Every structure is written in structure tokens, then in C-alpha cells.
Amino acid sequence: MKKDSSRQRCALHHDTIARVGKQMYPSDTLLELAAFFKVFGDHSRIRILQALAVSELCVDCIAELLGMTSSAVSHQLRILRAAKIVKFRKEGKQVFYSLDDEHVERVIQDGLEHVQEG
């Protein structure tokens, strides 16, 4: 007995493939999404984001809280700013960082809930 090829099997589901294809986002949008999630793939950045989910903080406070150098925190914050995940405001010479918007906090919270389910 011959096995059906992949193409033959997919032909049976042409309507489903067409429907799903229409709902797919453009490839460049999905590349941006992948880059967004890649930023979350670093332990130091996740720790910084969790701290910023609680309160706006300056670099030195983040460094003290997480036991990191100010230089290391600044480096990670540059990456997070470039990805539009955190924002900053200046108060005199002091710079305070916070999460960019409620979507970022929701991504963190959803991720935490997912890993704690298991």
C-alpha cells in the first residue's frame, strides 16, 4: 500500500489551508514579533523588567536591587529601550526607567502565569 505524499494529504485540507493563510500576518511583522520576544530571552533583562513592573527606578537603584553593576544595567536598558519595551524620563540629572506600556506588563504577567502552571 502506497503512502500519500504530503502534498496529496494537504490537498484534502485546501479550505483549511486557505483560511489559515488569510489570517497569517505578513512575514516582516512576524520577524518583528520574534525580535520582540528575543529580548525577553535574557535573565538579566527579565529581572529588570520584573522590577520595573513594580516601580519606576533609576539605573543605580536597579543595579543595587539586582546585585548588578550600573554599567551592566545601562547596557540591558539600552537593549530594552531599542526594543520599545522600556521608556525613560529625566528629572534633573537623574534618569528614571519604567515599562513602556501596559502591554509589556501583560506579556510578563502572562509569561509568569504560564511557567507557574506547570
Q: Which three cell numbers stand for residue 65?
A: 536591587
Whether 68 contacts 59, CB under 8 Å: no
Q: What is the pTM of this model?
A: 0.82
Whether 85 contacts 99, CB under 8 Å: yes
Between the CA of residue 76 and those of 26, 36, 43, 50, 55, what are the distances in Å?
Answer: 29, 14, 10, 13, 17
CATH number, domain 35-117? 1.10.10.10
Q: Amino acid identity, residue 22? A: K
Q: How do the domains of the chain map onto residue ranges?
A: 35-117
Residues 6+ apart with CB under 8 A from 99: 49, 52, 53, 85, 86, 87, 105
Question: CA 101, 60, 82: angle at the middle one, nearest 5?
Answer: 40
pLDDT category, 35, cuts 50, 70, 90?
very high
Report pLDDT digits (tens) over 59-118: 999 999 999 999 999 999 999 999 999 999 999 999 999 999 999 999 999 999 999 997
